[in-house]
A and B are shown apart, each in its own frame.
Chain A
Amino acid sequence: MTQPVSPPRDSTGKLPPVDRLPAFRGLLAHTDVRTLSLLGVLAVLVLIGGVTRPDEFLDTRNLQLVLTQASVIGVVTVGMTFVITSGGIDLSVGAIVALSSVWATTVATQEYGFAGILFTAVLVGVGCGLVNGVLIAYGGMVPFIATLAMLASARGLALQITDGRTQIVGVRGLLDLGERDAYVLGVPPLVIVFAVVTVCGWLILNRTTFGRRTVAVGGNAEAARLAGIDVRRQRLYLYLLSGLCCGIAAFLLIVLSGSGQNTNGNLYELDAIAAAIIGGTLLSGGRGTITGSVLGVLIFTTITNIFALNNLQSDVQQIAKGAIIVAAVLVQRRTASTP
């Protein structure tokens, strides 16, 4: 019987290079350039904000606001990063956030209070992710089409539930989470949730078998299958994860707005994809970075904030966002070709 491996023996007599974990070598060095450039962009934005609106922008309340706004889309982006890393795409995230937020805020659900709302939001998110995952992994549907169908149906269902009305939340304990009294050392609870999701996401992607399999499936699905990885089950789990993130995001949105609306999460899919891509996750799969995605989210949210403070209209914001996406991808292509 073959032993798995016998101890190393070096015939050349040369000493091998010092043991170092791969992440601390080329890979991280490479990621570092990327991360540093994103941090640079963020620093420039903060500088612009500080110069144009010195009193308002750097105010603690404003920074808390920026981070809070980043939290909702940020949680969605973490899930999206996993899906894109695996070579997939989830166009339904915005619609799932909308459906989860209205389902969790119906009169019937609100009777179960805080826990009922949280439970429902998460469950609806996971449920939608399950449908996406089954269609894609076992139904053989292309992710783009399956999640596009989910986008349409979830939005429709959200409209049907609310009939276009805003569902005000009357659960005190939940609303208190958004109040200043609930801040922990000046940090809003929503931001803490975002931070926890980010850290978990990073650990899962970089330190677990789940993360490794995600990257393998995205890098070469056929090779992953022939290496003995259950590619279909992995895909199912990935869309479940994205749905779970949408459910959490919907809950954050309910806390933030004190209501559930069928128009919630509008165009979140585009924001989340854009943030992941400018962060350095490959749209074709095989490489993903949670750090980059989160920085991407922060960059976009900061821009929105600076524009709002300077009373610029959203049309200008949109143009600026588009330009940044183009610039970021061009810069990345340059850095990728000169390792």
Chain B
Amino acid sequence: MAPEPPLLSMSGITKSFPGVRALDGVDLDVQAGEVHCLLGQNGAGKSTLIKVLAGAHQPDTGTIRWRGEEVTLRSPIAAMRLGIATIYQELDLVEHLSVAENVHLGHEPTTAGFVVRGKAARASTAQLLKRLGHPEIDPGRLVARLSAAQRQIVSMARALSHDVRLIVMDEPSAALDPDEVDNLFRIVGDLTADGVAVVYISHRLEEIRRIGDRVTVLKDGRAVAGGLPAESTPTRDVVALMTGRSVAYVFPERPASAPEGPPVLEVRGLARDGEFAPLDLRVRPGEIVGLAGLVGSGRSEILETVYGARRPTAGQVLVDGTALRPGSVRAAVRAGLGLAPEERKAQALLMLESVTRNVSVSSLSRFARAGWIDRRAELGAARAATRELSLRPDAPSAPVRTLSGGNQQKAVLARWLLRGCRVLLLDEPTRGVDVGARAELYAVIRRLADEGLAVLLVSSEVPEVLGLADRVLVLREGRVVHTAPARELDEHRVLDLVMEGSPAT
């Protein structure tokens, strides 16, 4: 280790929120030019730690040293002045401003102190985008018109527009395709070669192995291991540190006999122009059918169209042989479909409301007589549904926003369980769910299938689709290129198919 002081040294950081000790004496050392990975389950304190580092939270106790000198990060601006930039998971771009305006937001190049020099801003933005390997993004374009991956690049350009010494990236790869991830890693490599330090947060261990230098593992607000070598630490050890258990993903066993009988969900020639080509699929009760494909392959669009949230340009959705009214969520829900959407917070949850109310919202009329809600019945049924899924904490009146990602997902599943739904549509069911909670969620999904639910699953994580589904449809650019039982496929074969797209046989 170099004798000079580390670029950043945080020691004994504690931070409490009412009722929660989010950080409990965390130490973190980051050297210039290294990629320091931060691992931990949801609620382990990663977000709080990086917010302290970004100046967004003030620690209760503890010291932060920057190049050996003690500093106080009073505000995000103070952190930025030192050269610390943070790229949050929920990107904080202003949609109705252009790329260049976003990149220079708060530090626009000006004439006489207030007249913005638009041309200069666009020129320097173009240069940054080129450096990031995306010269095709037009600095004058509105951010609202960019894809998720492009927005991430813009966010990164914004960080680089300051004189940064340390960049914090919070799950930067979550919304990216494999080749986008490669580009991201190339950028990270360039940055560290220039002596910039990167604090990298990800749930994906294989990524950390590829680009990380050292790993710090957080658990329950403490750093349970600091500065582990990223390449050589066995996965088992890392998972054990994060969870206190030594299990990676465990997929539940498939039932011995394949489900039989008529399909409960049948999709015939369903299509949406520009999104996905005519699609046929059937799901039987007790069966989990997986859709595998990259971002942009039309996975979420298919699920939302089946659910009626988007209007198809052709085709039909049938439940028990009866066609649903196209483009009607209400018809789908009435027929027994339930969707756990990709963006839980934005599309599924009422964040101000309690768990009970989030669970009961789709079944209100069941507890009501002439519109009058029997709250005792509602509470009892919602509680039974959440216990069925072992939702934690077992507190029906807890605000849903205080739950971890995995438990929020269970609240969404409980909503459909309570409704008595027969077909579950799961869009990225484990996004934002930590490793320890995933296995439990997988077991829950399989159990629901065993109890007779038909499940249509979409995931960008190939192992998840292969491990959980009975049958897999591989998608490429809105077209099914291959269909096979999950046990006849492996990850390489699926990746080959989604990249190369050899025609369906």
B-contacting residues of A (Cβ < 8 Å)? Answer: 1-11, 16-17, 19-23, 25-27, 207-210, 212-213, 215-216, 219-220, 222-230, 286-287, 338-339
Question: Once the chains bind, are A223 and B348 in contact (CB under 8 Å)?
Answer: yes
Q: In the complex the two chains form, is B395's CB within 8 Å of A17's CB? A: yes
Alpha-carbon gap, A16 to B388, bound state (A): 14
**Which one of B169-177, B210-218, B375-383 is at the interface?**
B375-383
Query: Within the complex, what minimum Cβ distance (angstroms) separates B187 from chain A?
Result: 33
- Chain A residue with Cβ nearest B366: A4
**Complex Cα spacing A315 to B352, Å:** 39
- Nearest chain-A residue to B395 (Cβ)? A17
Chain B residues within an 8 Å CB radius of A225 = 309, 329
- Of A4, A7, A25, A223, the most chain B CB neighbours within 10 A belong to A223
**Contacts A16-B394, A212-B364, A229-B361; is A5 near B418 (CB within 8 Å)?**
yes
Instruction: Show 17 A/B contacts (Cβ-Cβ < 8 Å), sorted by A.
Output: A4-B418, A5-B417, A8-B383, A22-B375, A23-B375, A27-B354, A208-B371, A209-B365, A209-B371, A210-B371, A212-B373, A223-B350, A226-B341, A227-B348, A228-B330, A286-B353, A338-B18
**A-B complex: 7 closest residue pairs judged by Cβ atoms:** A228-B333, A22-B397, A4-B420, A219-B350, A8-B387, A209-B364, A5-B384
Across the interface, do A213 and B397 meet the contact criterion of CB distance under 8 Å? no
Cβ distance B163 to chain A, nearest Cβ, rounded Å: 34
The total of chain B residues at the interface (CB under 8 A) is 58
Instruction: Kindly state whether residue B42 has any CB partner on chain A within 8 Å.
Output: no
Which residues of B are found within 8 Å of A16, using beta-carbon distances? 383, 394
Q: Looking at chain A's contact residues, is the secondary structure mostly helix, strand, loop, or mixed?
A: loop
Asked if A1 and B452 make an inter-chain contact with CB atoms under 8 angstroms apart, the answer reads: yes
What's the minimum C-beta distance from B52 to chain A, rounded to whole angstroms?
Answer: 18
Interface mask (B420-440 → A, CB under 8 Å = 1, otherwise 0): 111000000000000000000
CA distance A228 to B372 in the complex (A): 19
A10-B387, A209-B371, A222-B347 known; A5 vs B357 contact (CB < 8 Å): no
User: A16 to B393, alpha carbons, bound, how many Å?
Assistant: 10
**Contact status B417-A208, CB under 8 Å:** no
B147 at interface, CB cutoff 8 A: no
- Determine if B471 is an interface residue (Cβ-Cβ < 8 Å): no
Interface residues of B (CB under 8 A from A): 18, 285, 307, 309, 329-330, 332-334, 339, 341, 346-354, 356-357, 361-362, 364-365, 368, 371-373, 375-376, 379-381, 383-385, 387-388, 390, 394-399, 415, 417-422, 448, 451-453
A21-B309 contact in complex given A2-B422, A5-B418, A219-B352, C-beta closer than 8 Å: no
Contact B364 A5 (CB under 8 A): no
Give min CB distance, B311 to chain A, whole Å: 13
Q: How far is the CB of A228 from chain B (nearest CB, A)?
A: 3
Q: How far is the CA of A273 from the CA of B381 in the complex (A)?
A: 37
CA gap between A26 and B393 in the complex, in Å? 15
Chain A residue with the shortest CB-CB distance to B341: A226
Q: How far is the CB of B358 from chain A (nearest CB, A)?
A: 9
Given contact pairs A22-B357, A228-B330, enumerate 9 new A-B contacts (beta carbons under 8 Å).
A10-B387, A23-B375, A208-B371, A209-B368, A215-B357, A223-B348, A226-B347, A228-B332, A229-B361
Nearest-CB distance from B177 to chain A (Å)?
25
Which residue, of B309, B387, B451, has the highest number of chain A Cβ atoms within 10 A? B387
User: Which of B356, B357, B372 meets A208, CB within 8 Å?
Assistant: B372
Minimum CB–CB distance from B95 to chain A (whole Å) comes to 16
Contacts of A22 in B (CB 8 A): 354, 356-357, 375, 379, 396-397
- Interface contact B351-A219, CB-CB below 8 Å: yes
For B360, give the chain A residue with the smallest CB separation.
A212
CB–CB A227/B361 < 8 A:
yes
A127, B395: Cα distance in complex, Å: 44
Is A5 touching B388 in the complex (CB atoms < 8 A)? Answer: yes
Task: Determine the distance from Cα of A11 to Cα of B124 in the docked complex, in whole angstroms.
Answer: 60
Q: Which residues from chain A contact B364 at a C-beta distance below 8 Å?
A: 209, 212-213
Decide if B388 touches A286 in the complex (CB within 8 Å): no
Taking CB atoms, residues of chain A closer than 8 Å to B394 are 10, 16-17
Question: How far is A228 from B338 in the complex, measured between Cα atoms in Å?
Answer: 9
Q: Is the beta-carbon distance between B388 and A6 smaller than 8 angstroms?
A: yes
Q: How far is the CB of B92 from chain A (nearest CB, A)?
A: 18
Given A6-B388, A219-B353: A226 and B339 interface contact (C-beta under 8 Å) = yes
Asked whether, in the complex, the Cβ of B346 is within 8 Å of the Cβ of A2, the reply is no
CA of A226 to CA of B412 in the docked complex: distance in angstroms? 11
User: How far is A5 from B418 in the complex, measured between Cα atoms in Å?
Assistant: 6
Determine whether the beta carbon of B397 is less than 8 Å from that of A25.
yes
Distance in angstroms from B331 CB to nearest chain A CB is 9
Q: Which residues of B contact A210 (CB under 8 A)?
A: 371
Q: Which residues of B contact A26 (CB under 8 A)?
A: 397-399
By a CB distance below 8 angstroms, the chain A residues around B329 are 225-226, 228
B420 touches A3 (CB 8 A): yes
| Residue from B350, B383, B448 within 8 A of A286 (CB atoms) | B350
A220→B351 contact, CB < 8 A = yes
Chain B residues near A23 (CB-CB < 8 A): 375
> Which of A9, A17, A220, A224 meets B346, CB within 8 Å?
A220
State the CA gap A228–B307 with chains docked (Å).
Answer: 10
- Chain B residues, CB < 8 A from A17: 394-395
What's the minimum C-beta distance from A264 to chain B, rounded to whole angstroms?
33
B-chain residues with CB within 8 Å of residue A338 when the two chains form the complex: 18
Contacts of B380 in A (CB 8 A): 19
Whether B397 pairs with A27 at a CB distance below 8 angstroms is yes
**Closest-CB distance, A88 to chain B (whole angstroms):** 16
How far apart are the CA atoms of A212 and B350 in the complex, in Å? 11
CB of B112, distance to nearest CB on chain A (Å)? 35
* Residue pair B348, A226 in contact (C-beta under 8 Å): yes
Contacts A223-B349, A225-B309, A286-B350; is A5 near B385 (CB within 8 Å)? Answer: yes
A220 with B350, Cβ < 8 A, contacts A9-B387, A207-B372, A209-B365 known: yes
Contact A2:B417 (CB < 8 A) given known A209-B371, A210-B371, A228-B333: yes
